Amino acid sequence: MLTEQEALEHILSSVTALPSQSVPLREGVRSYAARAIHATIPLPGFDNSAMDGYAVRAEDTRTTEPLRVTGAIAAGDVAGVSLEPHTAIRIFTGAPMPPGADAVIMQEDVSTDAEKKSIVCKEPVELGENVRVLGCDLCVGQRIVDKGEPLNAARLAVLASQGLTHVDIAEAPRIAVVTTGDELIPPGEPLLPGKLYNSNGIMLEAMLRSVGISSPITFHHLRDNLEETVSALRELTRQHDFIILSGGVSVGEHDYIKPALKALDIPAEFWRVKVKPGKPVLFAKTVSSPRPCHLFGLPGNPVSSHVTFHLFVRPALLKVLGAGNASRSLPRVSATLTRAMKNRGDRPHYIRGVHEDGKFTPTGVQQSHALFSLSRANAFLRMDPEQELAEGATVQALLCD
């Protein structure tokens, strides 16, 4: 039985980023840059006004003598006029600074005389005040996006400021979600005795979307039948890069995933991890295909499936999507524990809870079937075997979906 770290290291060493593709900027959100990008245009591209006001020479504002207004420049104009000493030019936010001007005085800081077309400065301005200087935000050659960096709205805006229309990201992986078990039926059908609605399918899809998977995901449900399982996995491994299986990976008489993989000559690289919830976790990879298929077998209990997805599937998918190391781990935040806790088991236990206002509070029942308790949680607390934590202890919470 592997430790969490051993299992994760094994998985990450087995997956690689997919080939890159160029997509329109608007389709790149929540993706990861496939290459570093450097600026070719400075920001701003010219000296311009940061305020509505008057372009002036700073030294001319140190007197109460009126300054004659000789013109006006709006955003988008070309500064076709020059500023002469002891004059001012009406200027608007974003407009280019006229030659001869070295500051902008805000319109609130002047008195205007419409008849004489002049202003009087109420107080002086400093050299360069209210002026955005060429390249003060971004200079040519500066790296604006690193390889593996997430592409959020602001980063896409910077790329657009460079005149770019497309960005390189990893090709979207082909993913199948497979649930198993005769006891599961689709939501919407009559609930017969002994049956359960299939909740893991929608949960796994939602978590895949939250990772940034935007491509179509195929869904399949397998009955507890070896021949059907072998046939389905044979086809699915040919058509997908990832197969996320829920249930059927333990050692019970109705668990057919491992026997099916054996029949297909796909060896399970591991199938148990020392973690709670979620000990029966399977990882396998096809070797005959030119583009390997990675199989993750997660436990059927919803909490176990949820936790192990975050621990093992999420980092692997992020690597395939081109995410850098810093983006693969769940965010960590310090929190104060609101009640004493003890892990009485011999495996690390991921407690589900709420992180709010700097506090971590466990949510209800901490058993692997407790779906409602899971639904109230937004964070995990990892506790070592036999670890005790007092109320008020400072802990590290892992923020999750």
User: Considering only CA atoms, which of 95, 101, 84 is closest in space to residue 52?
Assistant: 95
- Tell me if 282 sits within 8 A of 249, measured CB to CB: yes
Quote the percentage of the chain above a pLDDT of 90. 89
Flag whether pLDDT at 79 surpasses 90.
no
- Alpha carbon distance 271, 250 (integer Å): 8
Q: What is the pTM of this model?
A: 0.87
253 has pLDDT over 80: no
Separation of alpha carbons 81 and 87, rounded Å: 12
Amino acid type, 170: A
- Res 103 pLDDT > 80: yes
Residue 80, pLDDT score: 85
Domain range 48-132, CATH architecture: Beta Complex (2.170)
Please state the φ and ψ torsions of residue 143, each to the nearest 5 degrees: -75, 125
CA dist., res. 39 & res. 138, Å (int): 7
Please give the mean pLDDT across all residues of the chain: 94
Q: What is the CA radius of gyration of the chain?
A: 31
Tokens of 110: 């002047």
The answer, yes or no, to whether residue 232 has pLDDT greater than 80, is yes
Q: What is the pLDDT of residue 32?
A: 96
**What integer pLDDT is reported at residue 289 of this predicted model?**
64
- Find tokens 């003598």 and name the residue: 65
Instruction: Give residues with Cβ within 8 angstroms of 295, minimum separation 6.
Output: 233, 237, 242, 243, 245, 261, 266, 282, 283, 284, 285, 286
Identify the CATH number of the domain defined by range 4-18+172-328. 3.40.980.10
Query: What is residue 316's three-state secondary structure?
Result: helix
Res. 251: pLDDT tops 70: no
Q: CA dist 344 to 347, 348, 387, Å?
A: 9, 10, 7
Residue among 337, 334, 318 at smallest CA distance from 326: 318
Q: What is the mean pLDDT of residues 202-219?
A: 94
How far is the C-alpha of 97 from the C-alpha of 391, rounded, in Å? 61
Question: Which residue ranges make up each domain of the chain?
Answer: 4-18+172-328, 21-40+141-170, 48-132, 332-399
Q: What is the CATH number of domain 332-399?
A: 2.40.340.10
What is the per-residue pLDDT for 320?
95
Q: What is the pLDDT of residues 120-168, one digit of tens each?
A: 999 999 999 999 999 999 999 999 999 999 999 999 999 999 999 999 9
CATH number of 21-40+141-170: 3.90.105.10
pLDDT 10s digits, 41-65: 999 999 999 999 999 999 999 988 9
Query: Minimal CA–CA distance to 312: which of 295, 300, 287?
Result: 295
DSSP of 13-75: HH--PPPEEEEEGGG-TT-BBSS-EE-SS-BSSS-EESSSEEEE-GGGGGS-S-EEEEEEE-T
- Looking at residue 53, its pLDDT comes to 97
Contact 121, 37 (CB under 8 A): no
Question: Where would I find the beta strands (DSSP E) of 262-391?
Answer: 268-270, 282-285, 294-298, 332-337, 341-342, 349-356, 359-362, 379-383, 388-389
261 pLDDT higher than 90? yes
Lowest-pLDDT range, 117-131, 253-267, 377-391?
A: 253-267
- Rounded to the nearest angstrom, the gap between the alpha carbon of residue 79 and the centroid of all alpha carbons in its chain is 42
pLDDT of residue 149: 96
The rounded distance, in Å, linking the Cα atoms of 103 and 59 is: 9
Angle at 170 between CA 167 and CA 171, to 5 degrees: 110
Same fold, 21-40+141-170 and 48-132: no
The pLDDT tens digits of the residues spanning 333-374 come to 999 999 999 999 999 999 999 999 999 999 988 988 889 999
Q: Look at 248 and 38; give whichever has higher pLDDT.
A: 38
Q: Do residues 261 and 245 lie in contact, with contact meaning Cβ atoms separated by under 8 Å? A: no
Residue 40 — pLDDT band, cuts 50, 70, 90?
very high
Q: Smallest Cα–Cα separation from 176: which of 228, 227, 226, 246?
A: 246
Confidence check: pLDDT of 254 > 90: no
Only one residue has tokens 């990772």, namely: 211
Length of the chain: 401
DSSP state of 311: I
